[in-house]
Each structure stands twice: as C-alpha cells, then as structure tokens.
Chains A and B, each alone.
Chain A
C-alpha cells in the first residue's frame, strides 16, 4: 500500500526544480517569516508564564521579566526582535512575489491569503505593543483606538468593543491581551497553514514555464538542509541583536499625564505622517484600506496574464510592478519623514 505524504512531506516534495530553489530567487523570505512566527510562538508562550494582563500590574510584571527572571530580558528581547523581523520579511516577501510575478494565476488566491497575513501581522504588532502598557506606547493606544472610533456608523461600536469602556482603562489591556494571545493566533494558524498548503497545491514555488528546459532538480534532503542553514544563521543573528539591543520599557502608562513626545511605532510612522495632513478617517483608515484593496486586486484587475511567472521584472507585470513601487515609495518616504522629525 502506498503511503500518502504527510503535511511535512507535502510541503517538502521529493524533488524541486533547482532554479526556483535558488536562494537568490526566494531569498528564503517566506520561510524566514514562518521561522520568526515559530520563535514568536515559543518566546510568547514563555512570557505568558509571568506576564500579568492588568492595568495595575502589566508594566510591573514586564519589569520583573526584564530584571529578575533568569534570561527574562533575553526572551522578551528575542520576542521583540522576531516581531520586527517578521514585519520586514513579510514586506520583502510581498515585494519578491510582485517582482517575480508569483501572484499570477493560479497563485492569485494565495496572494489574497498573503495580504490577509500581512494585515494580521500588523494587528499582532499593534496589540503586542499595547501590552507593554508603558508611557512610550500610551499615545499609540490613544490614537489607534480613536482611529477606530472615527469610522462612520460602526466606529463607536468598534471602539467600545476594543476599549471596553468610555476611555482607555483596565478593560482595554485585557482585551488587547485576549486578541494578542488568542484571537489573532487562531486566524494566524488557519491562514498560515492554508498559505503553505496552497503553495504546493498551486504547483510549488512559482516557476517559469518558458525557462523550464533545465532539468536540474534538488532533493528533499537538500531543500531541508538549506532551510535549516538559513534558520541557524538567522538564530545567531537574532541572538546577537537581541543581546545587544534590548527593547526599551518606560514607566507605567498614565493616560492623564502623557509624555510630550508622541512618535508612533516605526511600522505606523507613515500613517502618523498621513494623519498630520487631514481628517482621521480619510488619512488613517480610508487611505490604508485603499492601499490594501489595490494590493488585493493586483492579480484580479491589473495583471491577469499567467505569463512571465518567475522572471524578475517580467514585461507582462510592468503595470503591477509600478503600482507597488509607487505605493512602497510613498510609504517609505512618509516613514523616513516621520523617523527624521
């Protein structure tokens, strides 16, 4: 009786094309994102043992993790840096997919799941950031929740749901905690498994039909060896960065006496800059939503041709590449402006 491949074997087939397995094609970005997610799951589970999700004790319990628990500061630092790394690899992975035309049919649906995962990552970051409950995140919490309130019709209800009171207070941290460790991970597990499953279901890593003459293929063992190598290099990097640059932790947040400086977390700097220009709903909700909508529609409206897959900057996908370059340039410029101010 022939054995059906298990999930691990499903995503690691016996042989895959050597051209598409090259590091300079994928840069291991999808795999690295998954690696960061696993690290986040592990370090997060450890932090759960000491973190107290209450308005009065959250900040104190983090100080305890930082100062008294053996390796507590390192665990928290790894969690922090893996989260930053994941935002970066997510975005780079998206850019790689765009510039090699990997979003094209039949991978267009997996592209949508990927967009969902990007949004999920940002929600993870925001809720995790809020759990610090220190003076540094107080502004972001005020602005983020008031942005939700600015949405017409559903805004006030959404605000009540997220904040749990008329103003940020004890119920808010419990809700952020619930979303960060329970609500969002449920979506993450489902979407990540689906995303990886679809990679194989759609024919493996995007490969070029036009350039498929080269029959060279690498074996499963070779693929796994490469994955392990990249994970090991990243582990070393992560440990070095986490040791040298521990994340800051301010005093307990006081929403009556907020600090004078109010800089958003780096991945939301561009939204903060947008908000300086105009109304909260338009700049803080609508424009980001339009960006996401445009991204989601790329393989459905702007480039439906299945040609040019796996070719860097393929001719068929020029329009899509320009759209993404313009969006990315806008976000990057605003981020830099926000960082320098």
Chain B
C-alpha cells in the first residue's frame, strides 16, 4: 500500500510545479522586457546657453534664442526669458505682431507669456536667467522661475 502523501507533496503535484515555475519565469521575463524598454537615450537637447552682456539687449527688445528654445525679452524692470514651447502641444511659438503665436494650433500669448487666445490654457513658462562670472546673460530652460523674476540691467 502507498504511503499517504504529505501536504507539501500534494501541493507539489506536477501540475502545480509547472504552473509555479511558468508564472515565475513569465514574470521575470516581463520584468526583463520592461527594464529593456525603459532605457532612455541620455543625449538631451541643450538647455543652457551663455549669451551677450545684459546691455546688449535694448529696452523693449525680443530676441530669439533658438538653441535652447526660448525668447529673451527686456521690459522696464529688466530682462526675462520665456520658453518658446507652446503649453498646448509643444510646438515652438513665433513672434508676430508683438505677440507669440503657435503655428500648429493658433494659440496666442502676450509678451509676459499670458494666453491671449486658446487652445492653450497655461501661460508660457518663465525660465531662469542669471549673470555668468563674466557678467554675461546665462539662460537655462530647464529651470522654471516666477513670472515676476527679472534680471536687472545696470547701465
């Protein structure tokens, strides 16, 4: 007469063993594939650029900085920079008739980045401006700043 199978032996039937190993190996494979797909190319577009001295930008001037997708603007209070990436779907805005206009879907923004006309809902982003050690304007589109920040120009 055969011995009675223990609980563990019962659980480790051939079927359960196969089910167990298949699900483990399946899960590990999926994990591997997910890891494989998660790689992101580390080469990123430049976000930082050193420009001219602050005095070079006249009052009321709007200067394109296409290398880092931004606009450099000077008003009464000083210099500031707006990202040129439209907040609707990421197209780059043009400067036409004293306002920024998106060529893709027609959003319009004023000189302070505020939405004048949809479909964009959020204003253009203000990005960081500071003085480099050589007293040049340094722009970094990776860093957002408040819309009241200005780089004061001393003439």
Query: Which A residues contact B (CB, under 8 angstroms)?
Result: 139, 142-143, 146-147, 150, 160-161, 164-167, 169-171, 255-262, 272, 275-280, 283-284
Contact = CB atoms under 8 A, between A and B. Distances in A.
B69 A164 contact: no
Given A142-B91, A255-B45, A164 B105 contact: no
Interface in B35-78: 37-38, 40-41, 43-45, 66-67, 69
Given A169-B45, A260-B94, A272 B105 contact: yes
Nearest to A283: B119
Instruction: Report whether over half of chain B's contact residues are helix, strand or loop; otherwise say mixed.
Output: loop
Interface residues of B, number: 23
Given A166-B40, A275-B88, 19 more contacts: A139-B91, A139-B104, A142-B104, A143-B90, A147-B89, A160-B38, A160-B40, A166-B44, A166-B45, A167-B44, A169-B41, A171-B41, A256-B67, A262-B103, A262-B104, A277-B118, A279-B121, A280-B88, A284-B89
Contact of B44 (A165, A259, A277): A165
A257 to B, nearest CB: 5
Contacts, number: 71
B64 to A, nearest CB: 9
B104 A275 contact: yes
A283 B119 CA distance: 10
Contacts of B90: 142-143, 146
A166 B67 CA distance: 16
A236 to B, nearest CB: 39
A258 to B, nearest CB: 5
B142 to A, nearest CB: 10
A132 B69 CA distance: 23
Q: Which 3 A-B pairs have the closest CB atoms?
A: A165-B41, A262-B103, A146-B90
Q: Which of A171, A256, A260 has the most CB of B within 10 A?
A: A256
B94 A275 contact: no
B119 A143 contact: no
13 contacts: A139-B91, A142-B89, A143-B89, A165-B43, A165-B44, A169-B41, A256-B69, A262-B91, A275-B104, A275-B119, A276-B119, A277-B119, A278-B118
B40 A164 contact: yes
Contacts of A255: 45
Nearest to B38: A160
Contacts of A142: 89-91, 104
A165 B40 contact: yes
Contact of A170 (B37, B41, B119): B41
Contacts of A256: 45, 66-67, 69
Given A260-B94, A261-B103, A278-B118, A170 B43 contact: yes
Contacts of B37: 161
A165 B39 CA distance: 8
B26 interface: no
B32 interface: no
B131 interface: no
B91 A258 contact: yes
Interface string B84-106: 00001111101000000001111
Given A262-B103, A275-B105, A150 B45 contact: no
Contacts of A257: 66
Contacts of B92: 258
A278 B40 CA distance: 30
